[in-house]
Amino acid sequence: MLKKLVVGLCLSLAIPAFADQVVLKNGDRLTGSIAKSDGKVLLIKTDYAGDVTVKFDAIQSITSAGDLHVTLGRKTAVGPVTTKGDDVIVATRTEGPVEAPQASVTMLRSPAEQAAYEKSLHPGPLEGWSGGVNLGFAVTRGNSETRNLNIAFNAARTGFHDKLVLYTNSIYATNDLPTASPHSTANAIGGGARYDHDFAPRVFGFVNDDFYHDALQYLDLRSTLGGGLGWHAVKSASTTLDLLAGGNYTHESYAAFILPPIPPGTPVAAVTRSLGALTLGDAFSHKVGKGTVITQGFFFFPDLTQTGEYRGTFNFGTVTKLSKWLGWQNSFADVYVSNPPGGTKKNDLQLATGLNFSFTR
């Protein structure tokens, strides 16, 4: 019995020796597995308190049981880490101890975090994506007979210096009463892609390709190819705001139509036009608490070939998580064209709500 007690006591004393330890300046001691640090905060995984984040300048000493990847200024050292006063010591296997001021640490990762980082630098074509599918549907029968369907898809693949965004949205609504005119009250679909690449921490270049179809405006297809420069005005874990400016080439094709009454001898022909325009806009995203994300985008396209003509788009949406993969979404869109042919309305407003199915890969 005494032998088992001694063995158990020895094991209990040995366990901390095989764990990482962080001692804070206030005397608190954390024991677990150091995951990563950006030089400002440090994340340590503990058995008793879960993931604990502490400010790096509040740390008095660090002792790691295993190797850590430490970036000291422009140099990276790998090995067990200890501290001595205000210095960090990395016991490398090839160069011996590497010592540097603790303030020079810009990155610290465990082997698992380092492997994940290196993999993220060269992800496979189907890796690194996150996004969701929005679905809204409603039907009425009786005094009113209506149907409407809204489907949207968005996906983003974010790297350390670039970002690719894919998106599409469609809305279709009808009034099925025999006396209704027109029966289709909404029939629009749009989508596109945008690629950003950082040239500096705040400055990036972008290229985009968008398309839009609106049957009620007799717009067969509007395609827009553009690019320019952007500025990360706000870039944090919870909020991003990008400001964009550039140019685009737009091609529009409107179906042959004429609104009644039709004057005798009036020719009916399709309208096709191409134009160059500026691209001015912003893209905003903000996380409210742990469960809601707000997104907003506004783009203004002044026509360079016909002064005074322009287009504008505004989008606003929210997604509130109901579970890990299910949420509730609301979206509002406004598409404005200053000179649609044939006297159709200039402004199209779209409001939709429904379920959101999110994914991460």
CB atoms within 10 A of CB 4: 8
> pLDDT of 255-268, one tens digit each?
876 555 555 555 55
> pLDDT of 28-82, one tens digit each?
999 999 999 988 899 999 888 888 999 988 999 999 989 999 998 888 999 999 9
pLDDT at 268: 55
In the predicted model, what is the mean pLDDT of residues 318-347? 88
Residue 288 in any domain: the answer is yes
pLDDT value at 358 more than 80: yes
In this structure, the answer to whether residues 81 and 147 fall within a common structural domain is: no
pLDDT value at 347 more than 70: yes
For the chain, state the CA radius of gyration.
29
DSSP annotation of 290 reads T
Residue pair 162/206 in contact (Cβ under 8 Å)? The answer is no
Reduced DSSP (H G I as helix, E B as strand, rest coil) percent helix, strand, coil of the chain, to 5: 10, 65, 25
In this structure, the answer to whether residues 350 and 215 fall within a common structural domain is: yes
In the predicted model, what is the mean pLDDT of residues 11-39? 78
In this structure, the answer to whether residues 111 and 139 fall within a common structural domain is: no
Report the 3 state secondary structure along 296-322. EEEEEEEECCCCCCEEEEEEEEEEEEC
Q: Indicate the number of domains in the chain.
A: 2
Residue pair 161/198 in contact (Cβ under 8 Å)? The answer is yes
Domain boundary residue among 84, 116, 148?
116
Residue of 84, 66, 65, 75 lying closest to 106 (CA atoms): 75
Residue 281 in any domain: the answer is yes
Mean pLDDT is lowest, of 17-26, 119-128, 145-154, 237-246, for 119-128
Residue 333 in any domain: the answer is yes
In this structure, the answer to whether residues 181 and 212 fall within a common structural domain is: yes
- Of residues 152 and 182, more confidence is placed in 152
In this structure, the answer to whether residues 337 and 197 fall within a common structural domain is: yes
Mean pLDDT of the chain: 86
In this structure, the answer to whether residues 99 and 171 fall within a common structural domain is: no
In the predicted model, what is the mean pLDDT of residues 232-256? 92
In this structure, the answer to whether residues 196 and 327 fall within a common structural domain is: yes
pLDDT at 123: 73
Residue 22 in any domain: the answer is yes
> pLDDT of 119-172, one tens digit each?
777 777 777 889 999 999 888 877 778 888 999 999 999 887 889 999 999 999
Give the domain extent around 49: 2-116
Query: Which neighbouring-strand residues pair with 295?
Result: 285, 317
pLDDT at 340: 81
How far apart are alpha carbons 270 and 253 in whole angstroms? 7
Does 182 sit behind a cis peptide bond, omega within 30 degrees of 0 on the bond before it?
yes
In this structure, the answer to whether residues 136 and 273 fall within a common structural domain is: yes
Residue 124 in any domain: the answer is no
- Domain CATH code at residue 270: 2.40.160
List Cβ neighbours of 247 (8 Å cut-off, separation of 6 or more): 226, 227, 228, 276, 277, 278, 279, 304
Domain boundary residue among 72, 88, 116?
116
Residue of 301, 329, 295, 336 lying closest to 315 (CA atoms): 295
pLDDT at 259: 53
Element (H, E) at 158: strand 146-158
In this structure, the answer to whether residues 184 and 36 fall within a common structural domain is: no
pLDDT value at 1 more than 60: no
Residue pair 66/81 in contact (Cβ under 8 Å)? The answer is no
Q: For residue 197, report the phi and psi dihedrals to the nearest 5 degrees.
A: -140, 125
- Of residues 319 and 57, more confidence is placed in 319
Would you state the structure tokens that stand for residue 12, as one six-digit string?
Answer: 């209990």
- Of residues 77 and 17, more confidence is placed in 77
Would you state the structure tokens that stand for residue 291, as one six-digit string?
Answer: 């469960």
In the predicted model, what is the mean pLDDT of residues 8-18? 46
pLDDT at 12: 43
pLDDT value at 84 more than 90: no
Residue 320 in any domain: the answer is yes
Tokens 């287009």, residue located = 311
Would you state the structure tokens that stand for residue 300, as one six-digit string?
Answer: 């203004």
pLDDT > 70 in the chain, percent: 90
pLDDT at 257: 62
How far apart are alpha carbons 210 and 166 in whole angstroms? 10
In this structure, the answer to whether residues 18 and 108 fall within a common structural domain is: yes
pLDDT at 264: 55
> pLDDT of 272-310, one tens digit each?
889 999 999 999 999 998 889 999 999 999 999 888 899
In this structure, the answer to whether residues 91 and 163 fall within a common structural domain is: no
Q: pLDDT category, 341, cuts 50, 70, 90?
A: confident
From residue 179, give the alpha-carbon distance in Å to each of 147, 173, 183, 187, 250.
16, 16, 9, 19, 38
Residue of 106, 103, 109 lying closest to 45 (CA atoms): 109
Residue 161 in any domain: the answer is yes
Residue 125 in any domain: the answer is no
Domain boundary residue among 62, 91, 116?
116
The amino acid at residue 238 is S
In this structure, the answer to whether residues 238 and 325 fall within a common structural domain is: yes
Would you state the structure tokens that stand for residue 293, as one six-digit string?
Answer: 């994300």
